[in-house]
Amino acid sequence: MAAGPGSGLLRPRRAARPSHGGRAASCARRPRAARSKDGGGRRFRAARGSDLRRAGMAAGGGSPSIVEFFGGEDGYRCGYCRSDTGNISHGMWAHSMTVQDYQDLIDRGWRRSGKYVYKPIMNQTCCPQYTIRCRALHFQASKSHKKVLKKMLKFISKGDVSKVASEEEPMDSHIEDVATCDFAYKSESQVSQSDLTPLAVDQAERVENEDEDSGETKEGNVQKAESDSVPICADKDTPVPAEPSHSAKAVHAPPKPGKGADLSKPPCRKAKDIRKERKLQKLLQNQMGTAEGSQLEGDQTFLLQNSKSKTNQPKNIEDFVFVPLPDDARHKLEVRLVPVSFEDPQFKSSFNQSATLFAKYQMSVHKDTPSDCGENEFTRFLCDSPLEAEHAPNGPECGYGSFHQQYWLDGKIIAVGVIDILPYCVSSVYLYYDPDFSFLSLGVYSALREIAFTRQLCVKAPDLCFYYMGFYIHSCPKMRYKGQYRPSDLLCPETYVWTPIEQCLPLLEHSKYSRFNQDGKAVDEGRLKELGRVKVLHKRTVMPYSVYKKRRKGPSDEASVQQYASLVGQTCSERMLLFRS
């Protein structure tokens, strides 16, 4: 990943592979040279998080995002096309981050791996990685998706373990050869905690007044709760904040043979339903012309219309996920949502079992050695999160932040989906599962469950209606499966406007890097406009960059700050604190 001179970054032997189930975390693995530095372990991380919260309180307005930015550098190995130097991206270490800031960052092409947040340099990297999201409220399961859901139901209710290759989602065949993504990864920030602790708020205000320049802070609110019986909210067409092209309409192109249902044609109907309709029509015709028949006509027309509506109504995802099971079901599947916090009893009590499952998955599926996937690796990779947990009265009951969605089968964890719940979306980070249950297509199943879960959260938090699947990589055929979760949109790498994937695919077939916004005059609405308003944390004091620039001694770092602010955008640059030594 991008790293400036003297940044203390260490390059890993290789990166952890993204999961195949609708998620690509492109997550970094900790290099062997850095493992000995873990020292304090979880107690150190918990203490540091506590210190940062206190630091945020001192700065006023709750715990702010505090980041260290690393500029660009030469390319490094790409796990998708195997280029040795083609993978190029920017990165920053997040000591803490609000869910609203992270939501705004991923809507500008950023992505996190543990506490490391990175953004591919799209017009330079060998395999451009486009942020992809699914419009969960409008999601329609494909034929292959329904087969996976039915397979799980048969297994739970009857113990059926039949393995039919044709029923597997295309991604399942790539599980043992899924792409890797290597990038430089900062083992642990070398900045002392005292430097990250702002001074009292009154002093910070005096610094602000020094330049007569104050920044406003916005706090993001997000929530989430999982209740299998919660109804699904109606589709929303109202625009969501921070997404310019939410109103864009999806274009349904006829699929290629074998690629799913043709949405331009009416749904298939069972012969039994057709016979019922014909019978009703015949009865209706026989009663025409009589007074009594006239009354029957109205009643039977209603029955006919009702029959049609039921016949033509496609099943939604909840009809497959939340089906009542028979009393004599062979297995019991329970999905638990657990906050990623060692202060949470459920997370703490299941940690060892979850870490053991992670190691089993990594060694079996990705051929890692035991030292590559130990408890420290697991903690750094999937338990350390910069996101600050938040609760809001109009958000999900579970709140916002990072969570593990655990799949318990007969009292044993068989899969864990790592997710972030943000103001406008559920963002999938990673999935690991027990290889002994790979016949259940757990990658596909968990992705579908997460889409259903997003729809549930929307009931309480209407803005939370998208499911983010990480990056879509068209130049790597094995990574195109995410486009099968429709309707979905890709993020324009230049204007950061969402565009229906159907409009993007022809452009990507022509060129692996493409601007999706076809309005040549359109620009990035969130671009940097005032560099002087960028918030800086320097010598434990929060100040605008215009003040810091006057106080700074030594060579100018304006180019680096300019690059950082351009990448995160004006809004985030005024909310987040950029650490400067």
Q: What is the pLDDT, as a whole number, of residue 108? A: 98
Condensed to tens digits (0 to 9), the pLDDT of residues 485-539 reads: 999 999 999 999 999 999 999 999 999 999 999 999 999 999 999 999 999 999 9
- Is the pLDDT reported for residue 356 higher than 80? yes
pTM confidence score: 0.75
Average pLDDT over residues 250-270: 55
- Do β-strands 89-96 and 535-538 pair in parallel, antiparallel, or remain unpaired? unpaired
Average pLDDT over residues 380-405: 97
Condensed to tens digits (0 to 9), the pLDDT of residues 10-49 reads: 333 333 443 333 454 434 333 333 333 343 444 444 444 4
- Is the pLDDT reported for residue 479 higher than 50? yes
Residues 6+ apart with CB under 8 A from 562: 528, 531
Of residues 228 and 466, more confidence is placed in: 466
**Cβ atoms 402, 420 nearer than 8 A:** yes
Give the strand order in the sheet containing 466-472: 333-339, 401-409, 412-421, 425-433, 466-472, 130-135, 488-491, 498-500
pLDDT-wise least confident of 192-196, 238-242, 314-318, 435-439 = 238-242
**How confident is residue 269, by pLDDT bands cut at 50, 70 and 90?**
low
pLDDT-wise least confident of 163-172, 185-194, 265-274 = 163-172
| Share above pLDDT 90 across residues of the chain, in percent, rounded to a whole number | 59
pLDDT-wise least confident of 127-141, 159-173, 269-283 = 159-173
Q: What are the structure tokens assigned to 424, written together?
A: 């406008």
- For 190-257, give the DSSP string: -S-GGGGS---HHHHHHHHHHTT---------------TTPPPPPP--SPPTT-TTTTPPP--PPPPT
Q: What are the backbone angles phi and psi of residue 418, rounded to the nearest 5°? A: -90, 120
Of residues 234 and 471, more confidence is placed in: 471
pLDDT-wise least confident of 73-82, 168-177, 458-467 = 168-177
The position carrying tokens 């400036």 is 4
Q: What is the pLDDT, as a whole number, of residue 173? A: 31
Q: What is the pLDDT, as a whole number, of residue 31? A: 30
Give the Å distances, CA to CA, from 222 to 169, 171, 245, 302: 32, 31, 21, 44
Q: In whole angstroms, give the CA distance from residue 418 to residue 6.
A: 32
Q: What is the pLDDT, as a whole number, of residue 77? A: 87
pLDDT-wise least confident of 5-14, 281-290, 535-544 = 5-14
- Is the pLDDT reported for residue 433 higher than 60? yes
Q: In whole angstroms, give the CA distance from residue 27 to residue 30.
A: 10
Residues 6+ apart with CB under 8 A from 117: 67, 91, 92, 93, 94, 97, 102, 105, 110, 111, 386
One-letter amino acid identity for 42? R
Using DSSP, state whether 357 is helix, strand or coil: helix
